[in-house]
Amino acid sequence: MPDIVDSSVPVTNIDSNNISIKLDENVASELIKVDASIQGWSVKYAQINLESRGIESTIHNLHQHKAKLMSDALKEQGIDLSKYTSAHMGTDGTVQLISDNDGSINPPLNK
């Protein structure tokens, strides 16, 4: 199994509540492919403008697949996801984990 995180790029503490992690190129590529599929299905759904459980289900499943891939990648690095409320991945494969101090906006990622 390939490394999940690009070990040549250190984990960066943006501040006490946020960190930035560079994923391995192959892992990031897989996540970007899933994201492109989500975007494609979303556009297709908007174009036909119909209630379609099949397309809604596909988009939902792709979102879940992307979330699981990202979550598994970060957990394998020993990162405690319960401290963070959101995650964002850039097109370069860098993931930023963001925490709200009071936790009132979103539940933790792994709940």
Asked whether residue 2 is domain-assigned, the answer is no
Q: Give me 74's structure tokens.
A: 């970060």
Strand partners, 22: 94
In this prediction, residue 10 carries a pLDDT of 58
pLDDT mean across residues, the chain: 70
Q: Give me 7's structure tokens.
A: 């070990």
Q: Domain limits at 81?
A: 12-98
Give the span between the Cα atoms of 32 and 80, in whole angstroms: 23
Give the span between the Cα atoms of 14 and 6, in whole angstroms: 18
Report residues of the chain scoring pLDDT below 50.
1, 103-108, 111
Asked whether residue 44 is domain-assigned, the answer is yes
Asked whether residue 1 is domain-assigned, the answer is no
Q: H or E segment at 32?
A: helix 25-48
Count the domains in the chain.
1
Asked whether residue 36 is domain-assigned, the answer is yes
Reported pTM: 0.48
Asked whether residue 65 is domain-assigned, the answer is yes
Q: C-alpha distances in angstroms, 81 versus 5, 70, 73?
A: 15, 11, 11
In this prediction, residue 27 carries a pLDDT of 76
In this prediction, residue 13 carries a pLDDT of 64
